Structure 1
Amino acid sequence: MRTERKLTRLDRVFARLDREPERPAHIDVPRMSRHRVVLFASTLAFYVAIVWAIVITSWLVRFDWQVMFFRPYQQWPEIHAFLDYYVVLGQRGPTAVMIAAWLGWRSWRQHTLRPLLVLGASLLLLNITVGAAKLSMGRLGPHYATSVGSNEMWLGGDIFPSGHTANAVVTWGILAYLASTPRARRWLSAVSAVVSLGVGLTTVYLGTHWLSDVVLGWAAGLLILLALPWCEPLIARAETGIFDLRDAWRNRRRGTAPAPAAPVGAPVALSPLDSPAGDEEPVVREPVAASRPPRPQGGYLAPGPHLARSERTPVTPIGSRRPPQSDRVTRGTTSARPLTGG
């Protein structure tokens, strides 16, 4: 007996997404408008200016040293314990898990993979751009500074720009980017700005970053958020590709299962080439009666015409119990061995 295939958890997820293949009408995809392009260019110019100010050891480097000698963690020690936990809002691992859980629920509700794909694209850009800047400039942090007044560049460090600050800007700002209404976008933008500002200043308080590291981290995260509309076509193609791979995998799994047999007596449709008159519309033949009954589901009895019980050879899963044909006793004769019905 053929049973229905039991759906896996992945099948249930894709079935939920297939319920509404098109994106909801009230959710618009951000476009790279002229206003956004101007903001992106301005932020990029600010990014380059900060880097140049550190390279030439300008007044910004001196201000970094003044803040470091001020030692905020000694000025306000009563908030040290709280800020040790607050800075976790800028760590990539915990924040990525929290935001991914929320966006996963959004994907489930909106029947689209776009929220999760946008988060993945933003984190990928963050790792590439910020990681490359850290390794290429190699600035040392305040706790490892070698000489007072120097910019501490190209000495093997990895703190410029601040990864905590850039990560806070991107992970919390992605909620505002994916907001479905203008009001929600404004509120989430304000919340993400406060969180990222607090995380950056907390790293300065703890002495793990220079102030210029934090400023550059804000600019690096904002550049990623502003550049996300350029990634939207690629994200849409990735979503389509994931569903295509899912369909191909599902068809491959179904191809291994036996095809269902056509029911007996069902009408058979012929193509125009098979019809005798060459009609353009398909011809439906009337069902033809089967010449013999269908095979039983058990499969133990061989198909064939109906015979008398004495003329049949019983077939069981372990074989026949009757002797060969040459030793069979004909009907009507006396036999020392009684005949059984098998």
Structure 2
Amino acid sequence: MRTNDELVPAEERSQPVRPRMTRTRLGIFVATSVVYVAIVVGVLTTSWPVRFDWQVMLFRPYKQWPEIHAFLDYFVVLGQRGPTAVAVAAWLGWCTYKQKTLRPLLVLGTSLLLLNATVGAAKIGMGRLGPHYATAVGSNEMFAGGDIFPSGHTANAVVTWGVLAYLATTPRTRRISSVCAAMLALGVGMTTVYLGTHWMSDVTLGWTAGLLVLLALPWFEPLMARAEGWLLGVWLRLRSGRLLTAPVPAPVAASVPLGAPRAPADDELPVREPVGAGSRSGGGSAARVAEGRAHLAPRPHTVRSERSPVTPAGSRRPPHADRMPRGTSFGPSAGRGRA
């Protein structure tokens, strides 16, 4: 009995399936959006999320366990945008080369663009100060010129490492990648709380913001497919050189009106005859003009060996009655010359 994989051609099995927005994914997206709004409202109203933030902050975890401080200073880099983006882009670049598709890099670029747009706008719009810059105990520190709500490290860890799970080609690989990405995002978020750089509500909002970006990626799959086709077309034109050199238009032949005389061909051109031969044959110039006309058939001509030769002793000029023969003299100068 053949399995489902055997029924699919090898060419189609090599191409990764693009996820689409299913009902389950859409339901999770809506539920996560509700959690996002609830956290924001809880912080704005200075309710229990703010009270919990202050309890954790006054506990000062970095003083409770100072022996792990040095390790966590390096571990938190796994949520920093620059190093993680470079590492994941290098791996996805290798996947792009092996799979012969630009989709991995396009997914990473789209997710980072969505992350910067949404999280960056929320940070600037709400302007919350961090624990180290708090002004009053129990306050939410909102709209005070800060930029920590939601946590950028946490949201970036969710998106950057979650993209690897999103691009997994087998269910087993997707499950393992999802668990690893969740553990990294959880560790990075709690590390920022330990170091005192973020409130706990910053971290929870960062988790939800990053998850919303991953859940929204299927909506951008058609756009990424069109971008991939356009980029591949540009690459092929660059390799062939047609994009760098402007095409030279082919010369257009001039239109000839119907019935107009055409130029004589090489075999229709008249043969040049010696001077004098045409005069003796009579009408040599007229015959040559007639031979050059396109609407008249070429006149047969004799071979040079059959033509009447011209004697070198005789004059090449035709005889004229009003001309005197060469050597004849008249007048007084002639008499003096004979004397």
Counterpart of 2:243?
Answer: 252
Partner Cα separation in structure 1 for residue 157 and residue 142 of structure 2:
24
Counterpart of 2:51?
Answer: 62
Which segments of 5 or more consecutive residues in structure 1 lack a partner in the other structure?
1-21, 260-342
Partner Cα separation in structure 1 for residue 210 and residue 150 of structure 2:
10
Partner Cα separation in structure 2 for residue 185 and residue 157 of structure 1:
37
> Does residue 87 in structure 1 map to residue 81 in structure 2?
no
> Does residue 241 in structure 1 map to residue 237 in structure 2?
no
Q: What is the identity percentage for the equivalent residue pairs of Structure 1 and Structure 2?
A: 68
Counterpart of 1:124?
Answer: 113
> Does residue 198 in structure 1 map to residue 217 in structure 2?
no
Partner Cα separation in structure 2 for residue 52 and residue 253 of structure 1:
55
> What amino acid is aligned across from residue 252 of structure 1 in structure 2?
L
Q: CA deviation at 1:238?
A: 0.5
Aligned partner of residue 161 in structure 2, secondary structure: helix
Q: Any residues of structure 2 matched to 1:125-204 within 5 Å, and which?
A: 125-204=114-193
Contact 1:140–1:159 under 8 Å retained in 2? yes
Counterpart of 1:263?
Answer: none
Contact 1:23–1:110 under 8 Å retained in 2? no
Aligned partner of residue 242 in structure 2, secondary structure: helix
Q: CA deviation at 1:27?
A: 1.9
* 1:117-145 deviation per Cα after TM superposition (whole angstroms, max 9, x unaligned): 00000000000000000000000000000
The alignment's TM-score, normalised by the length of structure 2, stands at: 0.68
Q: CA deviation at 1:252?
A: 2.9
Q: CA deviation at 1:244?
A: 2.2
Which segments of 5 or more consecutive residues in structure 2 lack a partner in the other structure?
1-10, 251-339
> What amino acid is aligned across from residue 251 of structure 1 in structure 2?
R
* RMSD over equivalenced CA pairs, Å: 1.8
Counterpart of 1:306?
Answer: none
* 1:57-115 deviation per Cα after TM superposition (whole angstroms, max 9, x unaligned): 00110110010000000000000000000000000000000000000000000000000
Return closer, same or farther for 1:39/1:152 CA change in 2, 3 Å cut-off. same
Counterpart of 1:35?
Answer: 24
> What amino acid is aligned across from residue 180 of structure 1 in structure 2?
T
The alignment's TM-score, normalised by the length of structure 1, stands at: 0.67
Aligned partner of residue 180 in structure 1, secondary structure: coil
Select the residue among 42, 52, 60 that pairs with 1:71. Answer: 60
Partner Cα separation in structure 1 for residue 243 and residue 151 of structure 2:
47
Contact 1:26–1:180 under 8 Å retained in 2? no
Partner Cα separation in structure 1 for residue 243 and residue 199 of structure 2:
56
> What amino acid is aligned across from residue 166 of structure 1 in structure 2?
A
Q: CA deviation at 1:246?
A: 2.5
Q: CA deviation at 1:241?
A: 1.0
* 1:291-319 deviation per Cα after TM superposition (whole angstroms, max 9, x unaligned): xxxxxxxxxxxxxxxxxxxxxxxxxxxxx
Contact 1:134–1:159 under 8 Å retained in 2? yes
Q: CA deviation at 1:235?
A: 0.3
Partner Cα separation in structure 2 for residue 255 and residue 137 of structure 1:
52
Q: CA deviation at 1:243?
A: 1.7
* 1:191-237 deviation per Cα after TM superposition (whole angstroms, max 9, x unaligned): 00000000000000000000000000000000000000000000001
Aligned partner of residue 154 in structure 2, secondary structure: helix
Q: CA deviation at 1:245?
A: 2.2
> What amino acid is aligned across from residue 253 of structure 1 in structure 2?
L
Q: CA deviation at 1:25?
A: 3.7
Q: CA deviation at 1:254?
A: 5.9
Aligned length: 238
Contact 1:23–1:112 under 8 Å retained in 2? no
> What amino acid is aligned across from residue 60 of structure 2 in structure 1?
R
> What amino acid is aligned across from residue 66 of structure 1 in structure 2?
Q
Aligned partner of residue 243 in structure 2, secondary structure: helix
Counterpart of 1:270?
Answer: none
> Does residue 96 in structure 1 map to residue 85 in structure 2?
yes
Aligned partner of residue 150 in structure 1, secondary structure: coil
Q: Which structure has the larger Rg?
A: 2
Counterpart of 1:213?
Answer: 202
Deviates more, 1:234-243 or 1:89-98: 234-243
* 1:236-280 deviation per Cα after TM superposition (whole angstroms, max 9, x unaligned): 0100111222244431336679x9xxxxxxxxxxxxxxxxxxxxx
